[in-house]
Structure formats: C-alpha cells, structure tokens
Amino acid sequence: MRKRKKWTGMLFLLILSPFLQAQNAYESAVEAYRLSQLEKAETLLKEAEAAEPSRDEIYLLLGVVYQKQNRFPDAEAALRSGMALFGGHRDNLAFNLANLYYSQNRKDEAVALYTELSGGQSSYRSGATLNRANCYLSLGNYPGALTDYNTYLALEPATPQRDQIEKMIALLGRRINDEAERARLAAEQAALAEARKQEAERLAAEEAARQQALLDEILASLEGVSDETQVIGAGSEDIVIDDADSDIEE
C-alpha cells in the first residue's frame, strides 16, 4: 500500500514538473524584465515556453521583451502565437499587437484589432476605442474619430485626458462642418458648370442646325439655277443656223 502511494506521489510530481518548471522560469523572467535584464528574461521565457507551450502569458511577456529590444517581427510573431491559443490573456495580446501595428504606422491592421476589442465587454474596450479614434484621426476619417472620442468619454467620464479630448471633439466638429460646406459648394459649382456646359452645347447645336439649314437653302437655290441653265442650253441646241439653207436667192 505504501509502495502504491509512493508511486502515486511520484507520478503526481512528474505530471506537475513541467508546470512547476514553467512557473519558476516565468516568475524569474518577470523579475529579470523588471530589472531590465532583457536577454536573461528572453532566455527564461524560452525555457518556460518549452516546458508549457500552451501558456499564453509567456508569449505576452515575450512580445513585450522583443519590443523593448526593437525586434518588431519577433514581437509580432510571439503575440500572434499567444493569440492563437485563445487563452485568458488573448485580449491583452491583441491590444499589444494592435499597439505594435500603430507604432509601425500599420493603422488599418491596428484598427481591425481595436475594433475587435471595442465591440464587446473586453476590459480593453475603452483603451481600444481611444486608440482607434487616434488611428482614424491619422487616416483622415474625422467622423469615425469624432464618434470614438465621444464614445470614450462616455466609457471613461473621469479620464484625466478629458479636457484635451473635448478640445479635439470641438475641432473635429468644426473641421467636419467646414468640409461638408466645402463639399456642398463644390457640388453646387459642379452642378452650375454642368448646366452651363449643357446650355453651351444646346446653343452650339442650335447654331449648327441654323447654319446647316442656311447652307441647305443656299444649295437648293444654286441647284435651281443649274437646272434652268440646262433647259436653256438644250433649247439652243435645237436652233441650228445652216448657212447653206438660209441663203436667199436673189
């Protein structure tokens, strides 16, 4: 019986060993990161990953370490690997990846991830909404930015950035109104130009028709004169003066 318990205990330790190894390596990596020992943190995180590859928080910290080292492709790969596990830190991974895209001026990709986070009950909803507003502003999507800034203030009414955001909202409102007015004036000018063009084309067509009618009238008159000349010519051919026959005998 004791032997059985001993083997059971050893089996339990064997099962827990990878988890404990990963936990120890991860905790040591966190401490190394706090001390700015990035290379050591990376090595420990690799050990933790080898021991427990399904633990998504390992990839979360690994992505941060790579970003600190300006190894952006490695950071992206680590964050994507963590997201693919659909673990408890997926939203954090997605938020960090979106921020990475934003920093690299990959705004459209950042917007896609911020939209995913802002549409549900994620704890990153407000941050994603604010960052998406900033993306929209950079992309020139002022109505989208205006909507998101207003939504952010509704989600975070006590934000210390409230004054700056309210100023931005006011500026965007004026910008959108000015652009709408310019668009209206441009549309009116385009419509007026089109009307003038159509009127000019109509007048040109009328003038062309008038000139053609005049040409047709003159041509018809000339053809009439030509016909008369031919008749007279035909008659004169019948009047033949024969000197021999017309001699008067004396």
Structure tokens of 11?
């089996």
CB 148 within 8 A of CB 130: yes
CATH 1.25.40.10 fits 17-88, yes or no: yes
Is there a common fold for 17-88 and 109-216? Answer: yes
What confidence category does residue 19 fall into, taking pLDDT thresholds of 50, 70 and 90? low
Residue 23, number of CB atoms within 10 A of its CB: 15
Average pLDDT value over all residues in the chain: 84
Structure tokens at 89: 């830190």
User: For residue 224, what are its two tokens?
Assistant: 């009439």
Other C-beta atoms lying within 10 Å of the C-beta of residue 41:
25
Locate tokens 């007026």: which residue? Answer: 192
pLDDT tens string 22-51:
788 899 999 999 999 999 999 999 999 999
Residue that the structure tokens 């934003």 belong to: 102
Q: What is the mean pLDDT of residues 132-136?
A: 97
Q: How far apart are CA 57 and CA 38, in angstroms?
A: 16
pLDDT the model gives residue 241: 43
Domain boundaries, the chain: 17-88, 109-216
What is d(CA 80, CA 59) in angstroms, rounded to the nearest whole number?
8
| This prediction's pTM | 0.68
Architecture of domain 109-216: Alpha Horseshoe (1.25)
